Structure 1
């Protein structure tokens, strides 16, 4: 026997609600637009105010952030927090959105709120460290990376971040250990080779610096810091022509790169 029309309609609504949950959670590698649509449908349904809605706003915020729409993302994270002030993820995610917008003070504040709610939130410590790096607060960045690594040694980005912080601060052997740890863990990215290149440059191991900077540039040919650092290392090795080419290319990509390296302790 067929069910009544009311029963069939209820079943259809339930299936639609379940599908929206799956999309909002990013199931099946759903596209950003599908995730946003799924979360919007859940929000519009208005069911389960205490649990589903804060998650839906947070997830939609993540999708907006991944799309580069940081203002909308922050609005959703704000709403998620308003609905559940003990839910830590939107605090951290709001910090990431502010970080990507270049609002570093607001990012640090948001990460601090996440850490206050959950002092064992290693990712929030790593993210706050990145914001401190952007403000050139290398001591504070290193301290936050220390805590991030203590809480979650598998955070590969934290090892590279601490390597970079320590390299700038002049803690070169410790920095080298951190970069090696990141690379041993499979962190085959331009930033890590760039960081270790700076360590070798400051240690006076110019051949090793050129090799690491070249590895970084194979991954990201437009990385200005790797071009400039390689140019300085080549100059120290007496290869003036190649040095000038690298330095000139770096200056074209990033104005003020010379001042950056003075701040890093390299001339």
Structure 2
């Protein structure tokens, strides 16, 4: 407790209260084992249960306080506090299990008091005495009523079984429909995946075609620019011998005179 108080005064106080409750629980269960009266045992269990509820609340407060001071502590200190909390929870669970064990034993004792060896709720002998005082007709009528009640119980059981079978069939049909729906969804997803794949391929092909078309258009543009430039030069300077004649734009060729002209 001293080390916890050094970390946080609130942690030290909570740890002290929890230890006090654990000591009270240990003494209370030892006292419970010595009590023979079932009513006193029941009251003792109730008191111990209240103490365990209080202990559970304090452990929650301890956990909240640990989280509040976590940022100010070292990793070793935080690990020690977590281990301390887990130890508290483990010890409290052991007392809870012990309480359940005593409660179960107490319920068994109470059931033995109310259930007699001759029949349910200890009234078997009274039923035998009542049957012995009945006439034959009364016995027959009572037997008929019991048979009717048995038949009704059997019919109710059959109805429950039939309803259970129907529910099972409906559940099976629903599961089958859901399975088919899931199969359709998977098939649709496969189709979508295939379509996306084909679309990706088409996009790549279109990209390649566009790149090729751009190259062709660029070459055509360069050729057109060159032709236009040649035309402009020929028009400006038709006697330029460095540029070959373009059909239709070259000046008319000079008529050559033969060395021998009969005329």
Same fold by TM-score greater than 0.5? no
- Structure with larger Rg: 2
Choose between structure 1 and 2 for higher RCO, CA contacts under 8 A separated by at least 6 residues: 2
Q: How high is the TM-score relative to the length of structure 1?
A: 0.23
Q: How high is the TM-score relative to the length of structure 2?
A: 0.23
Larger fraction in helix:
2
